[in-house]
Chain A
Amino acid sequence: MLSRVAHSLYWMARYIERAENVARILDVNLQLFLEFANRDDDDRHDRWLPIVRATGDLEVFRAHHPRATAASVAEFMVFQQENPNSIVASVCQARENARMVRDQITMETWEELNHLYLFVLSPQARQIWLDSPPDYFNQIKTSSLLLGGLSAATHLRNEGWWFNLAGRFIERADKTSRILDVHGQALPATGLPARLSQADALAWVSVLRSCSAWDAFKSLYGADVHPRHVAEMLMLNENFPRSIRFCVERLDEALRQISGVSDRPFSNEAEKLCGRLAAELRFTSIEEVFNAGLHGQLDQIQLHLNQIGEALFQTYIFHAFETGPETRRVQQEEQQQQQLP
């Protein structure tokens, strides 16, 4: 498979997953914040900022918005194209990548992604957002899940499929770690909190909801929410499809399928790093995580994921296929293609 194509498939999947996760985080937190309607502005500002940090670039945010309010954060994370991680920007980039590899993805996948793209840029998307943000987020989530299902149901299990999967799971692992970190600052630096306020408990439920994990959590731990269990479920659970461990194990599998050497410990740097991270998540208890400090541990995971992404790039892509300089675009347009239809 062409390196450029692998690169585009990987990023297409990442951006779709990113849009979905941003929608999840915002959706749950907007609803949660309705419960804090009586709080003052400063308090709300303090509660929104970590969410911006979890999903986007704090500096970019500050350049555009003086205060973190529900409205400014939502604008920044949903619509603002200057924020490369906003939902609209992510969908546009996913679609741009898909356009470059249109011949490699199935018609069904292309049409749904194009549909999502046309939706996020349409005036009625804004209107839906104004009328009911949950409906808007639902459209984004549904479309992303549909895309996952469509490729699962229609895509040949070839190299492209595994690059797609690698992109999806590396992004999801990263986002789950960030979602888990959102309310991490309410925790002591190391160890577990002595007791939980009702507001904190609600915040942890929102963390679970962000990951569609609330129902599964109840069946595993009951309705009593404790950060210990939330972290255990979202970090270390082997069977929950959005837990970090689950995602890293899928990523590990995808990397091995791509290289075609599943029987040896590793054949390249990406596999080595990913295998190591998977083993760590497998042979760690949640007590150890909290003793070392949850926030620091999540930071480490994000760092490892970045390194795996970088190694993957070095191993398979070799050189950058960024959208080239402006001259490249001009030259691409300049080609006459006799008699445009």
Chain B
Amino acid sequence: MNSVADSHRDGSGFTADPAAGFFDEMFGRGDQVLPHYRKLAEAFAELGAAELEAKRRRLDLAFLRQGVTFNVYGDTRGAERIFPFDLVPRIIPAREWERLENGLTQRITALNLFLHDVYHQQQIVKDGVIPASCILSGKHFRREFANVAVPKDIYIHICGTDLIRDDRGEYLVLEDNARCPSGVSYVLENRRAMKRSFAGMFESVGARSVDHYAQELLKTLQYIAPPGVADPTVVLLTPGVYNSAYFEHAYLARQMGIEIVEGHDLFVREEHVFMRTTKGPQPVHVIYRRIDDDFLDPTVFRPDSLLGVPGLIRAYRAGNVSLANAVGTGIADDKVMYYFVPRMIEYYLDQKPILPNVPTYLASEEADLPYILEHLPELVVKAANESGGYGMLMGPKASKAEIAEFRRRIEADPRNYIAQPVIPLSRHPTHLDGRFVGRHVDLRPFILCREKTVIVPGGLTRVALRAGSLVVNSSQGGGSKDTWVLYGNE
């Protein structure tokens, strides 16, 4: 068997680059493969370059053939692309995962308590922990839902929290996606692809399964069925085939064995929701909605919405249908609210946050604004309510004109912006052009909330395929990796 060191000679092996100054998932800060990566490195060293290339081509073809694709906006022809997939999996040892699990559970628990509070007594505001103005000015705060009870007091049932690691390997929370987080289908499909291509490696390394996600999700949805409904009908509400995440919607519906519906498949009669079927109207009890609050019901929110269901909100308020996630969770993943999450954890749970935030400056804080404006070329600026890498300024990479443009925007609407130092994201060996090179990664685990919190071990590891890039979004040249959580620590 080749040792890892031997494989360096033919150029196909993994190499450490401690001088680059980043934390490397495989090497840490040093030049030796970390214990939990050892078996994987050995297994890869046995594969020739040609064999790897062949596996990779087969995988790309399989993804295309299966239609595991996403749509790119503004690209009308041939708009579907496969999400580039990297062959080298990211590995998380058991003790590290346990800490992540505890940290994420703590965080989602606090966020759900916060949402209940903010839509009821607003004690956290009264106690001066969060300024009222920050909440009331939030674009996704739904004041019409004040004092509306939601089933089991859970607001966020499905959360996708983005984690990064800094140059010391410290995990930090980058953001909470508490509205319609997407990407879990790639977690499942990437695993399927890896199992097919590297069956042997799974045996030797021992990664925990992610296959039960769909069952857990279904249980989570059934858990919030309206009272008295023993055998609830659950559906997934999609914007439709032109949505970027349509593949995922169809995929999850299929895995759960539930109907995927569009707004015009549903209608409301006497505050109950029905779907139009070939056998006439059928009642619907729980809706896993993958459309934003704004589009849910044209009679309450955006009147021009063609995607929603007129009367849905009345049925929801009457408690005859449940929505996951609940209406109004957007206030919890507002980037200004993000700043306060560590305080929420202390306030509601009386605990220290297990997973820290990235240091954050609020443009709306008098103390922070001048600092932000002075240091724009060093900072990352984010709009409070955008996602997917849109509405963002990467100071160090931005042109003077872009910086000036953001300065104008921040000054015009400080509530809408936060700034953070550029975090030198950890890197991971990635197979590109026949070589293994370090590329920056992040991690999005998916968290499910019912009577307990369930986190399927793993998550979506996104990787910035362009050299030096810190942006992992698919629309900006990002790809993904399978994520293996080990049973043990090596």
- Chain A: which residue is nearest B256 at the CB level? A103
The docked-state distance in angstroms from the alpha carbon of A324 to that of B265 is 13
Interface residue count on the A side (C-beta < 8 Å):
40
Contact B180 A111 (CB under 8 A): no
The answer to whether the Cβ of B482 comes within 8 Å of any Cβ in the partner chain is no
Residues 290-325 of A, flagged 1 when their CB comes within 8 A of B and 0 if not, give 000000000000000000000000001111010011
The docked-state distance in angstroms from the alpha carbon of A118 to that of B62 is 12
The docked-state distance in angstroms from the alpha carbon of A103 to that of B67 is 13
The answer to whether the Cβ of B171 comes within 8 Å of any Cβ in the partner chain is no
Contact pick for B244, options A96, A317, A333, CB 8 Å: A333
Interface positions, chain B 230-276, Cβ under 8 Å from A, are 239-248, 250-251, 253-254, 259-262, 264-265, 275-276
Chain B residues contacting A153 (CB-CB under 8 Å) are none
Q: List 10 A-B contacts (CB under 8 A).
A: A100-B241, A111-B67, A118-B65, A329-B242, A335-B239, A335-B290, A335-B292, A338-B333, A339-B444, A341-B480
Of A1, A96, A321, A331, which is in contact with the most chain B CB atoms at under 10 Å from its CB? Answer: A331
Contact B242 A340 (CB under 8 A): no
Chain B residues contacting A335 (CB-CB under 8 Å) are 180, 239, 243, 290-292, 295, 307
Interface stretch of the complex, out of A2-10, A67-75, A183-191, A232-240: A2-10
A96-B241, A333-B239 given; 5 more Cβ-contact pairs under 8 Å: A2-B278, A3-B265, A4-B261, A6-B278, A103-B254
Contact A2-B245, Cβ < 8 Å, known A115-B65, A339-B181: no
Which 10 interchain pairs have the tightest Cβ spacing?
A: A103-B254, A341-B183, A337-B245, A102-B250, A332-B242, A338-B177, A332-B239, A337-B182, A332-B240, A335-B239
The docked-state distance in angstroms from the alpha carbon of A334 to that of B182 is 14
Chain A residues contacting B182 (CB-CB under 8 Å) are 337-341
Q: Report the minimal beta-carbon distance from A313 to chain B, rounded to whole angstroms.
A: 11
The docked-state distance in angstroms from the alpha carbon of A253 to that of B254 is 28
The answer to whether the Cβ of B71 comes within 8 Å of any Cβ in the partner chain is yes
Contact B180 A2 (CB under 8 A): no
The answer to whether the Cβ of A80 comes within 8 Å of any Cβ in the partner chain is no
Chain A residues contacting B66 (CB-CB under 8 Å) are 107, 110-111, 114
Contact A339-B73, Cβ < 8 Å, known A328-B306, A331-B305: no
The answer to whether the Cβ of A155 comes within 8 Å of any Cβ in the partner chain is no
The answer to whether the Cβ of A159 comes within 8 Å of any Cβ in the partner chain is yes
- Chain B: which residue is nearest A6 at the CB level? B278
Chain B residues contacting A334 (CB-CB under 8 Å) are 239
Q: Report the minimal beta-carbon distance from A327 to chain B, rounded to whole angstroms.
A: 6
Chain A residues contacting B475 (CB-CB under 8 Å) are 340
The docked-state distance in angstroms from the alpha carbon of A336 to that of B242 is 12
Contact B183 A339 (CB under 8 A): yes
Q: Report the minimal beta-carbon distance from B48 to chain A, rounded to whole angstroms.
A: 29
Contact A340 B278 (CB under 8 A): no
Contact A1-B277, Cβ < 8 Å, known A321-B264, A331-B295, A333-B73: yes
The answer to whether the Cβ of A99 comes within 8 Å of any Cβ in the partner chain is yes
The answer to whether the Cβ of A258 comes within 8 Å of any Cβ in the partner chain is yes
Contact A332 B245 (CB under 8 A): no
The docked-state distance in angstroms from the alpha carbon of A325 to that of B243 is 15
- Chain A: which residue is nearest B242 at the CB level? A332
Size band of the interface chain B makes with A: 35 or more
Contact A340-B181, Cβ < 8 Å, known A102-B250, A335-B292: no
Contact pick for A111, options B65, B162, B387, CB 8 Å: B65
The docked-state distance in angstroms from the alpha carbon of A339 to that of B265 is 27
The answer to whether the Cβ of B186 comes within 8 Å of any Cβ in the partner chain is yes
Contact A341 B70 (CB under 8 A): yes
The answer to whether the Cβ of B28 comes within 8 Å of any Cβ in the partner chain is no
Chain B residues contacting A4 (CB-CB under 8 Å) are 261-262, 264-265, 276
Contact B306 A3 (CB under 8 A): no
The answer to whether the Cβ of B460 comes within 8 Å of any Cβ in the partner chain is yes
The docked-state distance in angstroms from the alpha carbon of A325 to that of B387 is 26
The docked-state distance in angstroms from the alpha carbon of A332 to that of B250 is 15
Residues 102-118 of A, flagged 1 when their CB comes within 8 A of B and 0 if not, give 11000100110011001
The docked-state distance in angstroms from the alpha carbon of A274 to that of B480 is 52
Contact A103 B241 (CB under 8 A): no
Contact A339 B250 (CB under 8 A): no
Chain B residues contacting A1 (CB-CB under 8 Å) are 277-279
The docked-state distance in angstroms from the alpha carbon of A25 to that of B83 is 39
The docked-state distance in angstroms from the alpha carbon of A107 to that of B478 is 27
The answer to whether the Cβ of B132 comes within 8 Å of any Cβ in the partner chain is no
- Chain A: which residue is nearest B260 at the CB level? A103
Q: Report the minimal beta-carbon distance from B156 to chain A, rounded to whole angstroms.
A: 12
Chain A residues contacting B247 (CB-CB under 8 Å) are 102
Q: Report the minimal beta-carbon distance from B364 to chain A, rounded to whole angstroms.
A: 23
Q: Report the minimal beta-carbon distance from B118 to chain A, rounded to whole angstroms.
A: 20
Chain A residues contacting B473 (CB-CB under 8 Å) are 339-340
- Chain B: which residue is nearest A260 at the CB level? B279
Interface positions, chain B 52-69, Cβ under 8 Å from A, are 64-67
- Chain A: which residue is nearest B308 at the CB level? A331
Residues 222-258 of A, flagged 1 when their CB comes within 8 A of B and 0 if not, give 0000000000000000000000000000000000001
Contact B462 A341 (CB under 8 A): yes
The answer to whether the Cβ of B304 comes within 8 Å of any Cβ in the partner chain is yes
Q: Report the minimal beta-carbon distance from A111 to chain B, rounded to whole angstroms.
A: 6
Q: Report the minimal beta-carbon distance from A32 to chain B, rounded to whole angstroms.
A: 36
Contact A336-B180, Cβ < 8 Å, known A316-B278, A329-B242: yes
The answer to whether the Cβ of B89 comes within 8 Å of any Cβ in the partner chain is no
- Chain A: which residue is nearest B278 at the CB level? A316
Q: Report the minimal beta-carbon distance from A222 to chain B, rounded to whole angstroms.
A: 46
The answer to whether the Cβ of B474 comes within 8 Å of any Cβ in the partner chain is yes
Q: Report the minimal beta-carbon distance from B294 to chain A, rounded to whole angstroms.
A: 9
- Chain B: which residue is nearest A106 at the CB level? B254
Contact B306 A324 (CB under 8 A): yes
Q: Report the minimal beta-carbon distance from A335 to chain B, rounded to whole angstroms.
A: 4
Of A111, A317, A335, which is in contact with the most chain B CB atoms at under 10 Å from its CB? Answer: A335
Contact B241 A340 (CB under 8 A): no
The docked-state distance in angstroms from the alpha carbon of A110 to that of B262 is 20
The answer to whether the Cβ of B107 comes within 8 Å of any Cβ in the partner chain is no
